[in-house]
C-alpha cells in the first residue's frame, strides 16, 4: 500500500501472546461463540441474532478481507454486533495496519479491561509488532548503491523475487511512501527508492494491494497495465512462484523490461513509479 509516512509516538502496548503464539479463533468460531465471548469480555449478552444475519455479516467480513479493505473491516468494529467485531478483529490481525489500531485498542480497553489476552488486545499487538518491525528497516539492505541510480532504471534480478523501484513526481523529485505486498511492507526512503521481497511462507494466494497519496495526503489513482483502478480497490492476485507480467516503459514510452506499474495522482502533479519484479 502506498500511504503517507506516519510516525507513531504512542507508548507500546502491553505484551499479550501474539497470534503466532496463541491460536486465535477463526472468524466463524468467533461468530459461533459470540454469547460466551460477550460474557468473557464483561458485557451483557444481547438477544441472540438470527443465524441468517450472522451468516450475512460473516460473508461481508470475508469479502472485505478478500478485497483488503482495512477501513471496511475497521468499521465493522462499531457498526455490527459483538460477534462480528470478533470476526473482524481476527482478519484485521492478519492484514490490518495503523488505520485499525485505534479501534482495536479502544475496544480492548472498553471491553477487555486489563486483560492483555482479550482478542482485541491480541490483534492490536500483532499490528504494533508489524509496525515496529518495519520502522527504520533499510529499504535496500543488500544493494545500497541502487539508491543513487536514476528513477525508472530496471535491472535483471536473479534468484530472489522482489519488487524494486522509485516513487517520483512528474518533475523527477522523490516522493516518500509505503509499499505493501501481502503482509510485507517497505517504505520508500528520502530519494523515493524502495524494495519489497516476496514472503517466503506463502501457502496460498497472496494479494497485492495498492494506494497512493501525494505529498499533501490526497488519495490518488492507479494505472496497472493501462487499466484505471480506484486506489481503494486495486488488487492483483499473485499465486506462489507465479509472476506479474506486463511492460516497463521509459519516459519516451519505449519498452525497457517485462513489467510495468504506473501510478498517477490526479489531485496535484502526477506521481510515477516504474520498477521490476525479478526472480
Unique residue bearing C-alpha cell 497472496: 206
pLDDT at 204: 33
The SS3 call for residue 267 is coil
Higher pLDDT, 101 or 190: 101
Instruction: Report whether 214 contacts 235 (CB < 8 A).
Output: no
120 or 9: which carries more pLDDT confidence? Answer: 120
pLDDT of residue 199 exceeding 70: no
The per-residue pLDDT for range 240-253, each reduced to its tens digit, is 322 333 333 344 54
Q: What is the CA radius of gyration of the chain?
A: 20
Confidence tier at 44 by pLDDT (50, 70, 90): very low
Q: Which of 64-68, 214-218, 271-275 has the highest mean pLDDT?
A: 64-68
Q: Where are the alpha helices (DSSP H) in the chain?
A: 27-32, 34-40, 51-66, 70-79, 82-95, 98-112, 119-134
What are the sequence ranges of the domains in the chain? 27-134, 144-277
| Res 210 pLDDT > 70 | no
Which region among 4-13, 59-68, 173-182, 222-231 has the lowest average model confidence (pLDDT)? 4-13
Q: Per-residue pLDDT tens for 73-82? A: 777 776 555 5
pLDDT, position 75 = 73
For the segment 98-126, the average pLDDT, to the nearest whole number, is: 71
Q: Which 3 state secondary structure label does DSSP give 2? A: coil
- Cα→Cα distances 170→145, 151, 178, 247, Å: 23, 11, 18, 20
Q: What's the grid cell of residue 278?
A: 525479478
Q: What pLDDT, on the 0 to 100 scale, is given for residue 28?
A: 53
Cβ(246)–Cβ(238) below 8 Å? no
Q: At what angle do helices 51-66 and 82-95 cross, to 10 degrees?
A: 20
Average pLDDT over residues 101-130: 71
Q: Identify whether the C-beta of residue 215 lies closer than 8 Å to the C-beta of residue 223.
A: no
Region 79-94: mean pLDDT is 67
Distant-in-sequence contacts of 181-184, Cβ < 8 A, 24+ apart: 181/206, 181/208, 181/238, 182/206, 182/207, 182/208, 182/238, 183/94, 183/95, 183/130
User: Phi then psi for 184, rounded to 5 degrees?
Assistant: -90, 145
Share of the chain above pLDDT 90, in %: 0
Cβ atoms of residues 257 and 247 within 8 Å: yes
Q: Name which residue leads in pLDDT, 197 or 62.
A: 62
What average pLDDT does range 21-49 have in this prediction? 45
Amino acid at each position: 500500500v502506498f500511504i503517507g509516512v506516519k510516525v507513531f509516538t504512542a507508548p507500546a502496548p502491553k505484551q499479550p501472546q501474539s497470534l503466532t503464539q496463541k491460536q486465535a479463533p477463526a472468524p466463524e468460531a468467533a461468530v459461533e461463540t459470540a454469547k460466551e465471548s460477550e460474557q468473557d469480555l464483561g458485557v451483557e449478552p444481547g438477544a441472540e441474532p438470527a443465524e441468517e444475519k450472522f451468516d450475512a455479516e460473516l460473508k461481508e467480513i470475508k469479502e472485505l478481507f478478500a478485497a483488503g479493505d482495512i477501513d471496511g473491516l475497521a468499521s465493522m468494529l462499531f457498526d455490527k454486533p459483538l460477534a462480528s467485531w470478533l470476526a473482524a478483529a481476527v482478519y484485521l490481525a492478519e492484514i490490518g495496519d495503523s488505520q485499525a489500531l485505534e479501534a482495536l485498542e479502544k475496544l480492548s480497553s472498553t471491553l477487555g479491561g486489563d486483560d492483555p489476552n482479550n482478542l482485541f488486545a491480541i490483534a492490536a499487538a500483532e499490528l504494533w509488532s508489524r509496525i515496529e518491525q518495519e520502522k527504520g528497516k533499510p529499504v535496500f539492505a543488500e544493494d545500497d548503491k541502487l539508491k543513487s541510480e536514476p528513477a525508472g532504471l530496471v535491472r535483471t534480478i536473479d534468484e530472489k523475487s522482489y519488487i524494486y523501484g522509485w516513487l517520483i513526481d512528474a518533475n523527477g523529485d522523490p516522493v516518500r511512501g509505503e509499499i505493501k505486498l501481502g503482509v510485507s511492507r517497505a517504505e520508500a526512503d528520502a530519494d523515493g527508492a524502495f524494495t519489497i521481497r516476496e514472503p517466503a511462507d506463502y501457502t496460498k494466494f497472496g494479494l497485492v494491494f495498492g494506494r497512493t497519496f501525494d505529498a499533501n495526503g490526497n488519495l490518488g489513482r492507479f494505472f496497472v497495465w493501462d487499466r484505471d483502478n480506484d486506489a481503494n480497490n486495486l488488487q492483483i492476485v499473485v499465486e506462489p512462484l507465479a509472476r506479474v507480467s506486463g511492460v516497463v516503459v521509459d519516459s519516451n514510452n519505449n519498452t525497457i523490461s517485462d513489467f510495468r506499474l504506473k501510478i498517477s495522482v490526479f489531485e496535484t502533479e502526477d506521481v510515477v513509479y516504474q520498477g521490476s519484479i525479478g526472480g
